[in-house]
């Protein structure tokens, strides 16, 4: 199969899950639970397999497919829609398919009343993610962004018996849709100036546009994607939705959906705007927003007592780090980011699945409730406790799990670029978030520490969360196995010696704008030769990784035993007042979120323009 | 004067957002969301307008050399309308369930997500 | 935030966004200008494809994939609504008694206009490639027509006229039709959604190749989707009561 043929087959990656969903839609009523589940999982596996074939082919040439055969030829120009598959977009599809398989296995016994709804929505969700990842056209991106959204809102609210799930779904739905409409306004502004929607075409036209147009077009266009990526101050919906969505859905949200938001922003920026006069401003925007997001996410993470909400804030913090790395713009840093992202998706998935098991086994995801009840004995649930502990340590960066490797690669590259603060920044953020997760595990599984009555305790507890399914005394294998599988993937990300090299090449191809334009508009799909290789674990990276694990341990112990600190330190704690304010800002009220959206857009425009 | 229609479209988008920010009722908020989206229709159609152009449908009055308005933005608007209908119905279904569970749809009284 | 703080913050945010938009507005090409590069390309393409309605050509030929995505969104949302407004175990369905009063004239108007509206919908779908309209518009009209029965006070008749299980199948069939055309394009002409049928003569009923076929598939899917959507909401509003008593639940469990 040639790359050109493979390109024309790209749309099948979207048609396939839609076909599966159509089958479930038409026949779902008459299918037994097992069969509906089987159709869903077979479809996702086929999709993953096809994406893997595409991934391997995309190593040699970009895959470009013109829908309906509307290839641009000479005078006629671009009228059709292009799908572009490179290793980054196809890799994201692989991650999505892998996580959905894990989520479907985990949910084997869920939703026994009307299972085909859940499964069909999962397939629609996959179709949306695939379409968004492959689209080479800003309006097509909007359409599949909305498909992803609609499926995600429904999946969040699946547990209609639970009012907080519904509220999470409505906040998520309104804020994300608003973001999407702002993106559409951006599309309209850009269309007005250029008469083009194709990204490659825009890449050629946009450098001739005026500054104000570029600022408005860019900020609005990426607004929706930044909302999806939960970048401060657009992040409010994320913890509302993650805290209440069914566990298998959270795995997808945290592992790949929000990352796709970042991917959208990065793709549009790189192809469309990086050769305009906006480049420096956009760099500044990504950097500042990334730093703020990471810091705020980490702080809020530490203040939570609801395990799922805590994990949600840790995701926000990690997305902040991702955005900061994206700002750097070198292939080595992006390569590290890819390794980091894969391992993070696997670990976050394993952690959310653990939270789901804790919920279904002990009827709460609240640290203090579980601590008070002391029903959890790590002995009886040893496998669960160990999974949780390894995943938490992996999040801190413990070798040989991939997160540590990815972070080390990225921070080395950033340091070489002159950002000497990068290693410290990453150590602090991962120590805070992983420390919080470890603390949570220590309280839940080991029963360490005392129940608090200060700000941490004021946070919403995880007691209101309804039980998803009765599991009785023993966590079933169908729930434990996917978590273990994801954990294994995170190890693989760190241990596959070739991965950093492959990732760096992926990154170099992602950054090669001229190559993208030539592939889409002129059919020259080959890559320029790229000899670079990237190292795997080095002594230095092992040491920084261990350092951040140590720091996470310190954070964990400090927050467990804060009461035993010397009195002046405890009382003086100057951070508590701002923490309270932060806490209050996360009000769960949709009106506030709309206000923050406006402020964020204005702020972003100012940052880009100055 | 020649930018006025764009300003109207953008103003509708912003009015929708203001409505959501000040909303005391989730049904109202969802409707404001679709108002915000209608602003995008106005903007798109304004962008595609050509003074003196007619509808882009070939026939007895329209030939290849006739000046027409932009069919692309109309097609995009059509797509956009269906998206809006889908999202609105979806969100209204959620609001309906909230009303049944909580007996209120005032965001200020639904405080379970705080913190 | 207190309402007051929220208002102040809102004004701050609004000011920022307005300033941003105001700086870009004067750079926009003036309203009603004559330069529309994509329009020129799209019109040429529509002409070559013998599709009189250029909007349909963009929607179902040149950018048909957007339409596919959008139809998928609609169907996903029907699925989502079905999942969200489903009847819970503690709720029960009640027979709806005829309540209220419907004017005789309303009843007659509904009866007369029902077939006309459905017919109009079918007409709009069929002529989608050559006159204004198409699958969405026609599907929406037809679905609305059926609901005239509700306005005419005949909810029970409406319930009988729209067997929901059947509409789930037709909805899926509409989407499957779209998929089939898309894949046939790949098999016959080498790319998904290729317009592989003979284009015919401009402004003839059977012109534009696959555009009428896609219009028809979309019309069926949209009509079914809207009927299912409205049915979900009507059920909730009219036919489902709140919590039932425990004795009733026991009765049902026993039966």
In order of their start, the domains of chain B are 3-54+66-112 (1.10.287.3510)
| Whether B113 and A163 lie within 8 Å, measured CB to CB | no
Q: Point out the residue among B21, B50, B90 whose CB comes nearest to the CB of C81.
A: B90
Alpha-carbon distance C19 to C25, whole Å?
10
Rounded to a whole number, what is the distance in Å from the CA of A484 to chain B's nearest CA? 31
Q: Please answer yes or no on whether C70 and B68 come within 8 Å at the CB atom.
A: no
Find where tokens 């009507």 sit: C234
Whether the Cβ atoms of residue A411 and residue A429 lie closer than 8 Å to each other: no
Quote the CA–CA distance of A199 and A201 in Å, as a whole number: 5
Q: How far apart are alpha carbons A78 and A70 in whole angstroms? A: 8
Per residue in B67-99, pLDDT (tens digit) is: 889 999 999 999 999 999 999 999 999 998 888
pLDDT for residue C252 is more than 50 = no
In chain B, residues with a C-beta closer than 8 Å to the C-beta of A464 are 112
Tell me which chains share at least 3 CB pairs under 8 Å with chain C: A, B
Residue ranges covered by each domain of chain C: 41-81+102-240
pLDDT (average), residues B8-23: 94
What's the CA gap between A292 and A519, in Å, rounded?
A: 37
Express each pLDDT in A296-312 by its tens digit: 999 999 888 889 999 99
Cα-to-chain-centroid distance, residue A326: 14
Within 10 Å of residue A10's Cβ, how many Cβ atoms?
26
Partner-chain contact A26 C173, CB within 8 Å: yes
Whether residues B83 and A168 touch (CB distance < 8 A) is answered with no
Instruction: Using an 8 Å CB-CB cutoff, list chain A residues near B78.
Output: none
DSSP element (H, E) containing C91: strand C91-93
pLDDT confidence of residue B115: 44
Are the beta carbons of C31 and B5 separated by less than 8 Å? Answer: yes
Token couple for A547 = 């350092």
**Cross-strand pairs, A82:** A66
- The DSSP annotation for B15-48 comes to HHHHHHHT-SSHHHHHHHHHHHHHHHHHHHHHHT
Question: A66: part of which helix (H) or strand (E)?
Answer: strand A63-66
Cβ neighbors of C82 (< 8 A, separation 6 or more) are A117, C228, C232
Q: What is the mean pLDDT of chain A?
A: 88
Alpha carbon of B60: minimum distance to chain A alpha carbons (Å): 25
Q: From the candidates A65, A69, A189, which should be mutated to test the interface with C, based on the most C CB atoms within 10 A?
A: A69
Residue range C21-37: mean pLDDT, rounded: 86
Q: What's the average model confidence in pLDDT over A492-520? A: 90
Q: Which residue has the higher pLDDT, C152 or A50?
A: A50
Kindly list the partner chains of chain A, i.e. chains with 3 or more CB atom pairs below 8 Å. B, C
pLDDT tens figures, C35-61:
888 888 888 888 888 888 888 888 888
CB contact under 8 A, B98 and A170: yes
| Residue pairs between chains A and B whose CB atoms are closer than 8 Å | 132
Give the distance from residue A585's alpha carbon to the nearest chain C alpha carbon, in angstroms: 7
pLDDT tens-digit profile of A430-461?
999 999 999 999 888 888 877 766 655 555 66
User: Average pLDDT, whole number, for chain C?
Assistant: 82
Answer whether A196 sits within 8 Å of C37, measured CB to CB.
Answer: yes
CA distances from A55 to A47, A89, A493 (A): 12, 9, 16
User: Which residues are CB-neighbours of A71 under 8 A, at least 6 positions away?
Assistant: A80, A523
CB spacing of C77 vs B97 below 8 angstroms: no
In this prediction, residues C161-173 reach a mean pLDDT of 85
Burial class (CB in 10 A: 0-12, 13-18, 19+), B109: exposed
Beta bridge partners of A135: A83
C-alpha closest to that of A320 among A402, A376, A238: A238
Option in C10, C69, C192 nearest A147 (CB)? C69
What confidence tens digit (pLDDT) does each residue in A109-160 have? 776 566 788 899 999 999 999 999 999 999 999 999 999 999 999 999 888 7
SS3 sequence of A483-535: HHHHHHHHHHHHHCCCHHHHHHHHHHHHHCHHHHHHHHHHCCCECCCCCCCCC
Q: Is A530 on the interface with C (CB under 8 A)?
A: no
Tens digits of residue pLDDT in A18-58 = 999 999 888 877 888 888 889 999 999 999 999 999 999 98
Per-residue confidence (pLDDT) for residue C247, from 0 to 100: 38
Q: Which residues neighbour C141 within 8 Å (Cβ) at sequence distance 6 or greater?
A: C117, C120, C121, C124
Asked if A368 and A457 count as a contact pair (C-beta separation under 8 A), the reply is yes
Which of C9, C37, C61, C77 would best serve as a mutation to test chain B binding (most B beta carbons within 10 A)? C77
Long-range contacts at A105-109 (CB < 8 A, ≥ 24 apart): A105/A41, A105/A478, A105/A481, A105/A482, A106/A247, A106/A248, A106/A251, A106/A353, A106/A356, A106/A478, A106/A479, A106/A482, A106/A483, A107/A246, A107/A248, A108/A37, A108/A478, A109/A469, A109/A476, A109/A478
Residue B90: its chain C contacts at CB < 8 A?
77, 80-81, 84
Q: Report whether A286 contacts A163 (CB < 8 A).
A: no
CA end-to-end span of chain C: 53
Q: Find the Cα–Cα–Cα–Cα dihedral A578, A583, A589, A594, rounded to 10°.
A: 40
A304 neighbors A586 (Cβ within 8 angstroms): no
Task: Choose from A2, A6, A10, A15 for mutation: most chain C CBs within 10 A.
Answer: A15
Question: Residue C243's pLDDT band (boundaries 50, 70, 90)?
Answer: very low
Cβ contact A385:A447 at 8 Å? no
**Segment holding A147, helix H or strand E:** helix A138-156
Give the pLDDT score at C135. Answer: 84
Reported as a single tens digit per residue, the pLDDT across A353-405 is: 999 988 888 888 888 888 877 666 656 688 889 999 999 999 998 888 999 99
Asked whether residue A464 carries a pLDDT value surpassing 70, the answer given is no
């Amino acid at each position: 199969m040639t790359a050109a043929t493979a390109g024309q087959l790209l749309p099948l990656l979207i048609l396939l899950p839609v076909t599966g969903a159509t089958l479930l839609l038409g026949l779902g009523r008459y299918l037994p639970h097992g069969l509906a589940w089987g159709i869903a999982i077979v479809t996702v596996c086929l999709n993953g397999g096809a994406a893997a074939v595409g991934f391997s082919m995309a190593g040699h040439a970009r895959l470009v497919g013109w829908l309906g055969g509307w290839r641009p030829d000479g005078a006629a120009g671009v009228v059709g829609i292009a799908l572009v598959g490179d290793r980054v977009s196809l890799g994201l599809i692989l991650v999505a398919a892998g996580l959905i398989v894990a989520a479907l296995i985990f949910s084997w016994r869920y939703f026994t009343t009307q299972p085909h709804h859940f499964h069909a929505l999962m397939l629609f969700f996959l179709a949306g993610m695939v379409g968004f990842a492959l689209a080479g056209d800003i309006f097509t991106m909007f359409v599949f962004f909305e498909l992803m959204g609609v499926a995600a809102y429904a999946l969040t609210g699946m547990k209609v018996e639970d009012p907080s799930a519904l509220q999470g779904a409505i906040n998520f739905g309104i804020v994300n849709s608003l973001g999407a409409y702002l993106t559409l306004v951006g599309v309209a502004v850009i269309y007005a100036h250029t008469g083009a929607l194709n990204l490659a075409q825009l890449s050629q036209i946009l450098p001739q546009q005026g500054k104000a147009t570029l600022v408005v077009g860019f900020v609005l266009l990426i607004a929706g994607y930044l909302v999806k990526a939960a970048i401060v101050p657009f992040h409010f919906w994320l913890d509302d939705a993650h805290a209440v969505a069914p566990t298998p859905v959270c795995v997808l949200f945290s592992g790949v959906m929000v990352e796709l938001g970042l991917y959208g922003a990065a793709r549009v920026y790189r192809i469309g705007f990086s050769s305009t006069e906006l480049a420096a401003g956009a760099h500044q925007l990504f950097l500042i927003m990334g730093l703020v997001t990471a810091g705020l996410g980490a702080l809020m993470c530490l203040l939570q007592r609801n395990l799922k909400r805590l994990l949600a804030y840790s995701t926000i913090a990690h997305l902040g780090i991702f955005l900061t790395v994206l700002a750097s713009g070198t292939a080595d840093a992006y390569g590290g980011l890819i390794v980091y992202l894969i391992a993070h998706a696997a670990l976050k998935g394993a952690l959310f699945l653990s939270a789901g098991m804790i919920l279904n086994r002990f009827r709460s995801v609240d640290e203090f409730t579980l601590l008070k009840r002391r029903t959890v004995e790590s002995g009886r649930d040893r496998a669960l406790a160990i999974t949780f502990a390894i995943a938490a340590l992996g999040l801190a960066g413990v070798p040989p799990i991939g997160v540590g490797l990815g972070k080390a690669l990225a921070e080395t590259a950033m340091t070489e670029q002159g950002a000497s603060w990068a290693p410290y920044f990453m150590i602090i953020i991962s120590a805070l978030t992983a420390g919080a997760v470890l603390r949570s595990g220590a309280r839940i599984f080991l029963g360490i520490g005392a129940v608090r009555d200060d700000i941490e305790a004021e946070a919403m507890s995880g007691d209101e969360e309804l039980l998803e399914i009765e599991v009785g005394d023993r966590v079933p294998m169908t729930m434990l196995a996917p978590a273990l599988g994801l954990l294994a993937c995170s190890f693989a990300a760190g241990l596959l010696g070739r991965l950093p090299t492959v990732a760096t090449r992926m990154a170099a191809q992602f950054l090669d704008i001229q190559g993208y334009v030539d592939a889409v508009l002129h059919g020259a799909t080959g890559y320029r030769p790229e000899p670079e290789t990237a190292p795997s674990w080095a002594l230095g990276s092992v040491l920084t990784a261990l350092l951040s694990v140590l720091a996470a341990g310190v954070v964990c112990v400090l927050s467990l035993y804060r009461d035993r600190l010397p009195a002046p330190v405890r009382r003086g704690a100057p951070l508590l007042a701002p923490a309270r304010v932060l806490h209050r800002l996360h009000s769960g009220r949709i009106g506030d979120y709309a206000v923050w959206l406006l402020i964020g857009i204005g702020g972003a425009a100012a940052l880009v323009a100055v | 004067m020649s930018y006025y229609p764009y300003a109207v479209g953008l103003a509708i988008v912003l009015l929708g957002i203001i409505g959501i920010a000040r909303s005391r009722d989730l049904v109202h908020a969802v409707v404001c969301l679709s108002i915000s989206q209608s602003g995008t229709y106005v903007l798109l159609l304004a962008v595609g307008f050509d003074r003196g152009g007619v509808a882009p449908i070939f026939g007895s009055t329209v030939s290849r050399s006739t000046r027409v308005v932009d069919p692309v933005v109309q097609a995009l608007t059509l797509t956009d309308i269906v998206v809006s209908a889908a999202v609105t119905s979806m969100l209204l279904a959620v609001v309906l369930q909230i009303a049944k569970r909580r007996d209120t749809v005032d965001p200020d009284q639904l405080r379970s997500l705080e913190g | 935030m207190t309402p007051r703080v929220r208002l102040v913050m809102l004004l701050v945010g609004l000011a920022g966004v307005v300033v941003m938009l105001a700086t870009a507005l004067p750079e926009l090409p003036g309203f009603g200008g004559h330069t529309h590069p994509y329009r020129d390309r799209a019109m040429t393409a529509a002409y070559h494809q013998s599709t009189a309605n250029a909007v349909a050509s963009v929607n179902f030929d040149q950018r048909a994939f957007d339409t596919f995505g959008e139809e998928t969104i609609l169907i996903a949302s029907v699925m989502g609504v079905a999942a969200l407004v489903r009847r819970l175990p503690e709720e029960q369905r009640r027979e709806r008694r005829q309540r209220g009063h419907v004017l005789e004239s309303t009843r007659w108007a509904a009866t007369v206009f029902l077939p006309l509206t459905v017919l109009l919908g079918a007409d709009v779908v069929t002529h989608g490639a050559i006159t204004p309209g198409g699958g969405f518009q026609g599907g929406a009209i037809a679905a609305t027509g059926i609901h005239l029965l509700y306005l005419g006070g005949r909810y029970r008749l409406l319930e009988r006229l729209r067997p929901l299980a059947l509409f789930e199948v037709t909805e899926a069939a509409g989407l499957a039709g779209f998929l089939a055309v898309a894949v046939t394009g790949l098999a016959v002409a080498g790319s998904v959604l290729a317009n592989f049928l003979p284009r015919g003569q401009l402004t003839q009923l059977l012109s534009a190749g696959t555009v009428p076929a896609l219009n028809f598939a979309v019309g069926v899917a949209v009509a079914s989707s809207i009927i299912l959507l409205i049915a979900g909401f009507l059920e909730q509003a009219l036919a489902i009561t709140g919590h039932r008593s425990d004795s009733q639940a026991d009765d049902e469990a026993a039966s």
